[in-house]
Amino acid sequence: MHVTTARRASADTAPESLMQTLPQAPSPSIDSELLARAQARLEVLYGEVARTWPGFIARPGQHQMMHAALQTFLCAKSPEDERRQGENLAQLEAGTGTGKTVAYCLAAIVASELLEKTVIVSTATVALQEQLFNKDLPRLAQIIPELRFDILKGRGRYVCASRLQDAMHHDAQDSLLDDAYSDAFADDRRQTTGVKRDRVESVQWFKSIARKLDSDQWDGDIDSLLQQPSQDDWRQVQASAQACNGGQCEYFRSCAFFKARRQAATATLQVANHALILATLQSDSSLIDPGNTLFVFDEAHHLPGIAAERFTYRARLGSSARLLTGLRTVAMRHARDMSASARPDPVAFAQSITQCTDKLALFEDYWTQAQLVSADKPVHRFTEGQIPVALIPECEQLATIIRSIAAVVATIAAALMEPDESRSPSERAEQTRAGVELGVYLARLDTLERLFGAWATHDKVPWAKWMEWAKNSPAASGAAASGGTADGTGLAGTSSPDAWVCASPMTAAQLLSRGLWKDVSAAVCTSATLTACGSFDFFERLSGLNRFPQRQALVVASPFDYTTQGELRIAAMTHSPKSAGFSDELCQKLPELLRAHHHGQLALFTSRRQMQACHAALPADLLAQVLVQGERSRTELLKEHGRRVGNGERSIIFGLQSFGEGIDLPGQLCEHVLIDKLPFTPPTSPVEEALAEWLSTQGRDPFSEISVPRAGMKLAQWAGRGVRTVTDRAVITVCDTRLATMRYGRDILAGLPPFPVVRPGAR
């Protein structure tokens, strides 16, 4: 059953799909006595929150959401239950000001008590985790003394004491944990720029945090450091699964990561993030038992994107070949100390490595001879995910060979992790470092196997497959491993071109359906914007929830009276964003629109170029009142904005898409939100292009199925920046007449907060 409630003020403005009402009768799968007990307990706790929570205001929407979440949790499935129709899954959209955190937490806590299940609340970012953990849950714990809660973070947020010791006492970590580690597999589109600190500065920092760790002045969590370290320094000492030998490590008992995990295991409610949940469920980790866990995914509209990123595989061809060449030497060197009976055959292993690098060389020859990518043509996507037929068996064989190589390396690594009391402490430490090095190789081999396995497969819904030009020359360590020079050039002194091989699902729907929704005991997805254009369809398609016919869906009415707290104005523009004169007209009209408001304003732009053009065209008086995203840190910018508004001045923030979500500017801090145009994002990435292409081959319209709802969801988030409390009043100005003139504009309007709409020429 898929049910929703209307959030619009009147029936004539509400989409038909939102005019259904939540049924009073609970699911027949819920025991009536259990439901009665749960509801009674929930009302008692809600009453206590209303009575003791500072400034608490009971809201009908919050109460409605709370009971909807409770019913979903009480439909929890056992791990053995194969009947998965979706009555244990719900989508609950709750607008700003509803108080959804209290609603889902109370419902989850009550269900946890009665069903004896763990609760995991997953957020989109570590910052949101911290807010929930440090602010909301401590308040609830004052009301519910028996509530035990903790936070779950990935290993990479914690220091590894063993690696910290190595960093202090060795000139450099092994190559795989340093330059080549990033070079072959890290996404260079996300690399931050900056000057790497010299060795002396790094060692001083390592020693400083080691003293704090040893004296219990620091818990080993990067987020609790007053000053964040450089990426290079932290990467050398952060914990990782591949660099861990668990209970065999001499620091195991005091390990920051394992201490945090042991503590979290005793909590009834654990706070995590989407990336960690997906990574854990993808692995064989026992950290999370989905079949006995009640999940809440807050900010769930991010879940499909994070999942798709999680299942994207990338590797550089040339660098991967160099790493494999290095692996042949490293693995056999570490295998020397194994017993003769257990020691791998070095000749067979070398042959496997050679086979693998030879096949990688075939791919290098293919892309260079076909001139698929270059500095002038950075991306080549394979149409409909179909690589040349001749490459398919090569990919299949590559995946098989890599799997066999990994099996040998795993055997050697396991032997190195075995404690050997006959060795000296320094020898055991060196043995552990060797195991860590091989563990890193194993992780990279796993990526390569998955990557080429994906390339060899062509499903009914194909994966996106593409190649990218690698901008940077090979890392020094990688070049050295292949006989090259430290500057990344070959023996002849010329730079070796390289390319990324990439594969990604077009959406994470199937992966989420099989790997998450079919395994969880129960799950509630919530956000202020789960619907797009007045429908859950877009989110359901991307998340895979549409495969569960009995899933629940509810839109909770916002406590804000949008009809009196603001209005949405469509600026009277003569040019459409598609016409050449739009940018010039926007630059001319902007001063008039900004001068109409005297306090805080937020101007959101869909491109940096447009933002810069508008900024450059401002008259001097307005120019002095504008704060531009990127000119200072986000925290500093918002602080200065608050100072100016507090002093009675006009302050205008010019921001891009990231400023359209997650910023809270109540009252006079934001009395006007200006949006340059509808936030359409044309399919520019290979994955988006592949999805649009596949929809077209199915006779479907990618613009209406993907572009319009995505723009509608984003515009709803941006418009929501204006009204943050029940006393706010704001004007939302959209400088795009397509919102009034195009049919899809009306669809997008249907999904926005129900502001009165002032159309062009109305004033």
CB neighbours of 631 closer than 8 A, spacing ≥ 6?
Answer: 637
Q: Name residue 469's beta-bridge partners.
A: 499
CA atoms of 67 and 44, how far apart (whole Å): 13
Per-residue confidence (pLDDT) for residue 487, from 0 to 100: 34
Which segments of the chain have a pLDDT < 70? 1-26, 28, 170-197, 284, 419-421, 428-429, 472-495, 761-763
Task: Compute the distance between CA of residue 637 and CA of residue 634 in angstroms, rounded to an integer.
Answer: 5
pLDDT computed for residue 244 by the predictor: 79
- Phi and psi angles of residue 91, each rounded to the nearest 5 degrees, phi first: -115, 120
Contact 73, 524 (CB under 8 A): yes
For strands 313-316 and 499-504, give the pairing.
Answer: antiparallel
Number of H helices, E strands in the chain: 29, 18
Nearest-angstrom CA–CA distance, 188 and 567? 43
Q: What is the pLDDT of residue 761?
A: 66
Which residue is associated with the tokens 């006989």?
Answer: 483
Taking the C-alpha atoms of residue 707 and residue 724, their distance in angstroms, rounded to an integer, is: 27
Name the residue among 379, 392, 323, 373 with its Cα closest to residue 353.
Answer: 323
Tokens 């996507």 map to which residue? 381
According to DSSP, the β-strands at 499-504 and 522-527 are unpaired
| Beta-carbon count within 10 A of 633 CB | 9
Burial (CB < 10 A; 0-12, 13-18, 19+), residue 36, is: exposed
Give the pLDDT confidence score for residue 431 in this predicted structure: 74
Structure-block tokens of residue 228: 């964040």
Q: What is the predicted pLDDT for the residue at 4?
A: 45
Q: Which of 72, 39, 25, 12 is nearest to 526 (CA)?
A: 72
Beta strands in 593-704 (DSSP E): 600-604, 626-628, 651-655, 672-675
Query: Is 102 within 8 Å of 136 (Cβ atoms)?
Result: yes
CA dist., res. 524 & res. 713, Å (int): 19
pLDDT for 25 equals: 57
Side-chain half-sphere of 253: how many Cα atoms within 13 Å?
Answer: 2
What gap in Å lies between CA 690 and CA 702, rounded to an integer?
Answer: 11
On the 0-12 / 13-18 / 19+ scale of CB atoms within 10 A, 165 is middle
Q: Work out whether the CA dihedral 256, 258, 259, 264 comes out positive or negative.
A: positive
| Residue 71 to residue 81: CA distance in whole angstroms | 18
Contact partners, residue 147, CB within 8 Å, separation at least 6? 109, 137, 140, 141, 268, 269
pLDDT for the residue numbered 488: 35
Q: Kindly state the tokens that stand for 709.
A: 């709802």
Residue 417 neighbours by CB under 8 Å, 6+ apart:
245, 248, 432, 435
Answer yes or no: are the C-beta atoms of 66 and 46 closer than 8 Å. yes
